[in-house]
Amino acid sequence: MQPLVRVLVLLALLGASCAAPAVPDGDEEQPVLSPRNWTHVLPPEAAFGSGREPTVVLEGGRLNRTVLNARFNGTEALRRLRKLARRLNMPPLVDKALRLLNLQQVVQEVETSVMSKVSCTACRAGVSFIQHYIRTGKTKEDIIQVTKHFCIKLKMSTPRVCDGITELFGGEVTYVLQRLSLGPEEICGFVIGDACGDVYNPFHEWKVSFPPVPKPPVTPTPAPPKVGSPTFKVLHLSDTHFDPYYHEGSNADCNEPLCCRLTNGPPATPAAAAGRWGDYRKCDTPKRTVDSMLEHIKTTHPDIDYILWTGDLPPHDVWNQTRDENLSIIKQTVEQLSTTFPNVPIFPALGNHESVPVNSYPPPFVKKDYSIEWLYEEMDAQWRRWLPPSTSPTVRRGAFYSVLVRPGFRIVSMNMNNCNNRNWWLLLNSTDPGHELQWLIYELQAAEINNEKVHIIGHIPPGHSDCLKVWSRNYYNIINRYESTVMAQFFGHTHYDEFELFYDNSDMSRATSVAYIGPSVTPYYDLNPGYRLYYVDADHALTTRAVLDHENWVMSLKDANLYDYPIWYKLYSAKSAYKMNSLAPQEWATLLDQFTSDQDAFDLYYKHYWKNSPVRPNCDAECRKRLVCDLRCGRSHDRRSLCQEIESRIDSQTGGTWRSWLYNGLTVSYASVVASFSWIGSTISNGISTAWG
C-alpha cells in the first residue's frame, strides 16, 4: 500500500487526534530483513509409535529446599491485628474477618498472579484504609507513613522492603485514588479480576471500532510447505531479569522478593548459599549465566535470521529501584545483544519491569512528574539501532510499533502494559490507552488490503490474569476479525513454557490463532534458564508465514552449579514431542483436548512447562485444571465460559472435586464478611491513627 493511503486509512480509523506513523522517503516501506536464501534444517519428525522423546543426558535430582516455607509468621501477624481490633472494641465480625485473612497466602498469590477471594478480601481492606485516610484529609506523606508502619508491624516483609515499596508506590497510588469515585469493590474487581467476582463497572466498559470492511472468508488450513522450502530461524528471548548484584555464596533463602545479594546477609547453612550460575530460589540471572547463554547461542545457532525480544530486563528488586538504575540495565543489555548479534535484526517489546515503580505505565494524558516519557524516549533511542525511523513516533508515544520484515510479512510490537491490571493508572481511564488497539486495527486492516501476513509480539499474554478483562476482550475480537492476517503471536511474562489459544467467537470448537509464550532466561523461581527457537515459513510463492515448529533449549542449573560447567541442551521440539502434524491452531486445540484425558500427555507438557526443573512441585487435579484452562484462555478473566467443559472432563478422569466443593463452601460462608470491609477499613484506620500515632 502506498504510504499516503496508509495515512488516510489511519486518519479514517483513528481520527486526527491520534498521531499517524511517519513514513520513509520514497514510494514503499522498505523491509528490515535483507534478502537471502533462508533454508534451515527443521527438527526431526516424531517417531510415531515410539512413545518417547530423544534422551536427555542431564537430568538433575530434586533439591532439598526451604524456600516454600513462610517468609513471615502469618499467625503472629494476624494475632497482632486482631489484638488491635479488640483494643478498639470492634465487634466479633471484625475478628472473624481477620481470622479469614491469610496474609501469607495473599503474598504468595500476588507473586504468582494466581488469585483467590483471599487476595480480593485483602485488596478491599487495603483500599478501604487508604480511601478513609483520603476522605479524612490525610496527606500523601501521612498515608505512606501509616502504610509503612502497618507493613512492618504485620511483618509482611522486612523493614527495608516495606520502606521501599511504600515510598515508591505510595505517591502514585494516592494520586490515583484521590481522583476516583469508585469504591473498594469496583477497584479490586478491576485490579484482581474474576477472583473478586464479576463486578460490573460502567466506567471501564468500552469497545474498539472496526472499519466497514467484511471479514474475508475463512479458508482451509494450507498443507505444510514442501521439505526444503525456505524458512526463517527465529530466536525468542524473554524475561532476562539480569541482576548486576547477584553474588555467589550469598543468602539465597531470604524473606524478601529477591535474594542472592550481599545485602541479604550470609546464608544460615551451606545449603542456603547462592549457586555460582544461579539459584532455584528467588534469585535472578547472574551476568556469567547471561554471557554463557549468548555465547552458546552464537556458537550453536550461527544461522539465526532475526530475534524476538519480549521484555523484562531489570531484576525483581522492585522495592529498591531507580530510573537511572533501570535505564543502565536496559542500556547494558541492549549493547550486549548488539555486540553478540551484530548483523541480526532484533524486534523488541516492552516488559512490565522496565518502569519505576514496576507496572507503572501512565497513559499519555498523565504529564509532569508522573509522565512515562522518560522511559519511552530512551526505548526509542535504544531500539532505533534495529528499527527504521518510521517507528519512532509510536514508540515515543506509546512504546508500540509496526515494521515490514520482508515483502508481505510484518511484525507488530504491542505495549501490553496498557492491559496490565497492576498498572493503577488505568483506573483513571482504561479506554484503549494511547489508542493502541485502534492503531492495531489500522495496521491489520492495511496489512489485509496489502496481502501482508502479520506476527504480533508483546510481553504480558492477552489471556493472562494480569491483563484487563475489557482490554483482553477487545483484543480477542481483533484477532477473531483478522485471523487470516495474524499468523502467530509471541509473548513472555509468565517465565513458563506455555501457549494460549484463540477461538472463533461464533464457533468455540474452531481454534483461530495461537499465542506462543516463551520461557524465561531467569530461573526465578524454581526454573531452569531457557530460550526458544522458531522455524517460520519464509519467502516462496506459497508461503503462509506460519510457525512450522519450535525448539526449547534449557540449562540444568543444578548440574551447572554442581560441576561448575553450564551445558545448554535441546529439551524438546514441539512437533516431535507432542506428535503433531503441524503447529496450526486446530492442532494445538486437539493437543489441549488430549491433556484433559491423557495423563501421560499432560505430564510431558508439565515437565516442559517447568523447563525440566528438578524442583517442580507435584500437580494434582486442581493444578491440572488450572493449567489446561490457561491454555484455552486467550481471553482473560472468562474462565467460567471458556473452561467449564474441559474442567468437567478432567473431573471425570480424576473422580471428584472435593477440594473445589470445600473451597466454594467456605467462600460462600464469608461472603457477608467480605461485603463489610469498607466499614472495617474505616474503623481500623481510625484505630491505627490513635494507637500507633
CB under 8 Å to 544, separation ≥6 — which residues?
Answer: 222, 225, 453, 487, 537
What are the two backbone dihedrals, phi and then psi, of residue 473, each rounded to the nearest 5 degrees? -65, -40
Helical H runs in 496-548?
none
Sheet bearing 507-517, strands edge to edge: 401-406, 409-413, 453-457, 486-491, 507-517, 498-504
Tell me if 254 sits within 8 A of 326, measured CB to CB: no
Tell me if 262 sits within 8 A of 245, measured CB to CB: yes
* Angle, helices 621-632/639-654, rounded to nearest 10 degrees: 140
State yes or no: 353 annotated in a binding site: no
State yes or no: 495 annotated in a binding site: yes
Side-chain half-sphere CA neighbours of 536 within 13 A: 29
Q: Rounded to an integer, what distance in angstroms lies between the CA atom of residue 650 and that of residue 587?
A: 20
Residues constituting the chain: 693
Q: Rounded to an integer, what distance in angstroms lies between the CA atom of residue 429 and that of residue 409?
A: 34
Cα dihedral 605, 609, 615, 620 in deg (nearest 10): -60
- In angstroms, how far is the first alpha carbon of the chain from the final one? 66
State yes or no: 664 annotated in a binding site: no
State yes or no: 247 annotated in a binding site: no
- 3-class state of residue 173 by DSSP: helix
Tell me if 316 sits within 8 A of 351, measured CB to CB: no
| Sign for the pseudo-dihedral over CA of 195, 615, 600, 567 | positive
State yes or no: 312 annotated in a binding site: yes
Tell me if 59 sits within 8 A of 612, measured CB to CB: yes
Tell me if 173 sits within 8 A of 422, measured CB to CB: no
Q: CB atoms < 10 A from the CB of 57, how many?
A: 9
- 3-class state of residue 261 by DSSP: strand
Q: Rounded to an integer, what distance in angstroms lies between the CA atom of residue 233 and that of residue 254?
A: 41
Q: Rounded to an integer, what distance in angstroms lies between the CA atom of residue 232 and that of residue 365?
A: 40
Instruction: Reply yes or no: is the peptide bond before residue 566 cis, omega within 30 of 0.
Output: no
- Indicate the burial class of 6 (C-beta count within 10 angstroms; 0-12, 13-18, 19 or more): buried
CB under 8 Å to 312, separation ≥6 — which residues?
Answer: 238, 239, 240, 241, 351, 352, 353, 354, 459, 492, 493, 520
CA 667 from chain centre, in angstroms, equals 28
> CA 62, 606, 233 angle in degrees (round to 5)?
110
Tell me if 568 sits within 8 A of 300, measured CB to CB: yes
In SS3 terms, 617-649 reads as CCCCHHHHHHHHHHHHCCCCCCHHHHHHHHHHH
State yes or no: 352 annotated in a binding site: yes
Q: Which residue has the cell 486495527?
A: 441
- 3-class state of residue 571 by DSSP: strand
Q: Rounded to an integer, what distance in angstroms lies between the CA atom of residue 96 and that of residue 107?
A: 20
Known binding-site residues equal: 239, 241, 312, 352, 459, 493, 495
Q: Residues annotated as binding site for Zn(2+)? A: 239, 241, 312, 352, 459, 493, 495
